Amino acid sequence: MVELIESESVVAQGSSVVTYRIRSATGWIAAMDWPKATVEHREPGPGTVWQRQISVRLVPGTLLERIVSQPRRQGRADTLDYLFGSRPLGQRRVVRTALRLSDSGRLVTEPQSRK
């Protein structure tokens, strides 16, 4: 059983969102939509908007992708700018990390492929 934690947390200039996808024979599937996945919503702590634990059964060798989306850094904004949207919302920086389930049941980072 593999347990994945997805969440949204408050960071400077917005929020950071962590999600996972699992590779199937037909493409990528959101971890929470994986067949027979169990999803447990957790009580968010300070600075956390929401958090869920996803438990899935996977075979060794399965590919996963961890996706972290964060606001791009822009010039300083004060609280009122953020609350009232007087500054345009910036683009997001998305970091994708390829993972593989090892024979021992651990998620290991896949080497980056060079194109």
pTM of the model: 0.81
Pairwise CA distance, residues 54 & 39, whole Å: 5
Contact 79, 85 (CB under 8 A): no
Intra-chain end-to-end CA distance of the chain, in Å: 33
Q: What is the pLDDT of residues 23-70, one digit of tens each?
A: 999 999 999 999 999 999 999 999 999 999 999 999 999 999 999 999
pLDDT tops 80 at residue 115: no
Half-sphere exposure of 79 (CA within 13 A, CB side): 0
The closest alpha carbon to 42, from 34, 55, 31, 51, belongs to 51
Is residue 76 one of the residues assigned to a domain? yes
Parallel/antiparallel/unpaired status of strands 107-109 and 92-101: antiparallel
Contact 53, 1 (CB under 8 A): no
Q: Any idea what DSSP says for residue 84?
A: H
Is residue 114 one of the residues assigned to a domain? no
Calculate the alpha carbon distances from 91 to 27, 50, 109 in Å: 26, 22, 26
* Number of domains the chain is built from: 1
Is residue 57 one of the residues assigned to a domain? yes
Is residue 12 one of the residues assigned to a domain? yes
* Containing structural domain, residue 33: 2-109
Is residue 115 one of the residues assigned to a domain? no
pLDDT: which is higher, 1 or 12: 1
Is residue 61 one of the residues assigned to a domain? yes
